[in-house]
Chain A
Amino acid sequence: MWDVSDEALFAGFASGDPAAAAAFVRRLERKVYGLALAIVGDPGDAQDVAQEAFVRAWRFADSFDERRGSVAAWLLGITRNSALDCVRGRGRRALPTAELPAEAGADPTDVDEVVGRHDDASRVVALMRELPAGQREALAAVTLQGLSTREVSELTGIPHGTVKTRVRLALRRLRDGLEDRVP
C-alpha cells in the first residue's frame, strides 16, 4: 500500500504526518519488537522497549544521518539501547540457559534463509558470512542478544579476553566491508 522507502516514511513520521507515522510504525514494528524480545525475553517488557524505541526515534529524529546507514538499522540501534537500559535497570538478568543461537547465519544454510527474510540486510549477511565462526558468533551474541562479552564468556567457556578480541575484530571487519561498498 505504501510503496515508498522507509526513509520517506520516516521523514513524515519525524515531521508529524499522522498517516506516514502510522505507516512507518506498522512497517517496522515486527523488526523492532522482535529485537526487543530477543534481548529482554519478556513480552511485556519487550512491548515497552519497542514503544520507547519509536518514541526516542521520533524525539531524536534529527540525529539520524542517512549517509551512515538505513533508517531501519538506526531504529534497531535505538531499540537495542532501550532494551539494554531495561535489562540493566532491572538488575542482572538470568542468562539464557540454551546455547547461543546460530542466528545471523552461523552456517550457510541459515544465511540463505536470513537473506530471504531480510532482503535489505544482504550486504551485512554476506560480510558476516566471511567472518570466522568464532568472531561471527561473538558479535551476534553481543548485538542480537544484548549480551556483554563477560556473559558470552560465561556461556561459552571461552576466555573473556578472547571474546573481547573476537568482537572487536568482527566489528572492525564488518565496518571496513560496509564502508568499502558504500559509494
Chain B
Amino acid sequence: MTTEPTLPTTCEEVRELAPDIALGLLTGEVRAAALAHLERCGACRADVAGLASAADEVLLLAPEATPPPGFADRVLGRIAELGGTEVAAPAPAGAGRGAGGTASRWRRARPLLAAAAVLVVLAGVLGLALARSRDDAPATPVATAEMQTGRGRTVGEVAVSGAGPATVEVQVPEWDALVDRWGTGPSGDYHVAIELHDGTRLLRPVPDAGGGDAWTFTVEAPAEAVATVSVVDGAGRVWCSGRLLPV
C-alpha cells in the first residue's frame, strides 16, 4: 500500500499514479508534483497519454441523449463569434455561400497573433499592458516567442525580461473566454511550465478564471536563462509551447 501524502518524484512513483493522472483524479500538490515529473520525463508522459486515450475510448459507451432544439446552431454561432466572423448557416448540398458567393471561412488568426517582424514591438506593448498593476516601468523584453501547438499553430505569445528575478509574461488570447463560464473552473488544471537552460523546470498554476488571458510570473533567474515556456493541462499534455529567442 502506498501512503497518499508522499509526493511522487521518481518514474516508479509516477507510473503507479499514471492512471489517476490520466483520469484527472489527482489534486493539489500530488498532482503538481506528478505534472512536474511529466514535464521532464517523456517516457512517463507517453505512459499517461496512452492511458488517457484508453480512458477516452471508454466514454464511447456513455448513454446518448438528444440535446435541446437549436443546440447545434448555438454551438456553431458561438464558434463563429470566437472566430471573429459571421459564419454562414450550413448551405444546402454543402456548397459554400456568402455575400460574394465564396464559402464563408472562420477567421482563425487572433488579433494579437502578429507576424514575427512586429513581434518585438508587440511584446513591448504587451509588457506595458501587463505591467499595469505594478508601479515599475515596463521592462524591455530580452527574449520572446510565439506559443505554438504541436502542429505549429500560433495561439499566443511569451516574453521574458529582467536581469533576475526575471518576469515571464504569457498571453494566450481568448483563454479567459474559454474558462470564465466555469467560475472556479478549470484554471487549476492548467499550469505554465518554465524551463531554464540549465534544465530546471518550474511549474506555475495558471491564474484563476477572471485573471485574464495574460499572465505574469516571476522567476529567480535572469531572463536569458529561460529556454522554453509551455502551457500544460491536467494530464500533463502540452497544449502550446514557445522556445525563446533573443530580441
- Which residues of chain A have a CB within 8 Å of any CB of chain B? 16-23, 25-26, 29-31, 33-35, 37-38, 43, 46-48, 50-52, 54-56, 58-60, 62-63, 65, 68-70, 72-74, 76-77, 79-82, 84-86, 88-90, 103-105, 114, 117-118, 120-121, 123-125, 128, 139-140, 142-144, 148-149, 161, 164, 167-168, 171-172, 174-175, 178-179
Contacts and interface: CB of A to CB of B under 8 A. Distances in A.
A54 B182 contact: no
Contact of B234 (A20, A63, A81, A178): A81
Interface string B97-132: 000000111111000000000000000000000000
Contacts of A20: 94
Interface string B1-29: 10000000000000010011011110000
A46 B76 CA distance: 17
Interface magnitude class on chain B:
35 or more
A35 B62 contact: yes
Contacts, number: 219
9 contacts: A25-B72, A65-B150, A70-B60, A73-B60, A124-B58, A144-B62, A171-B51, A175-B50, A175-B51
A33 B181 CA distance: 17
A43 B75 CA distance: 16
A124 B56 CA distance: 10
Nearest to A39: B62
Interface stretch (B33-41, B162-170, B183-191, B214-222): B183-191
Contacts of A103: 61-63
Interface string B171-205: 00010001101111110010000000000000000
B58 A104 contact: yes
B136 interface: no
A80 B234 CA distance: 13
A32 to B, nearest CB: 8
A22 B76 contact: yes
3 nearest A-B residue pairs (beta carbon) = A16-B106, A76-B59, A22-B90
B178 A59 contact: yes
* A interface secondary structure, majority: helix
A39 B50 CA distance: 23
Nearest to A81: B24
Given A55-B75, A171-B51, A143 B67 contact: no
A178 B51 CA distance: 10
A68 B168 CA distance: 33
A60 B57 contact: no
B183 A142 contact: no
Contact of A55 (B57, B60, B62, B79): B79
A143 B58 contact: yes
B63 A167 contact: no
A118 B88 CA distance: 32
Given A139-B58, A143-B23, A144-B61, A62 B74 contact: no
A103 B60 CA distance: 11
A174 B150 contact: no
Contact of B88 (A18, A30, A60, A65): A18
Given A76-B62, A114-B61, 4 more contacts: A31-B60, A60-B149, A86-B185, A143-B55
Contacts of A117: 64
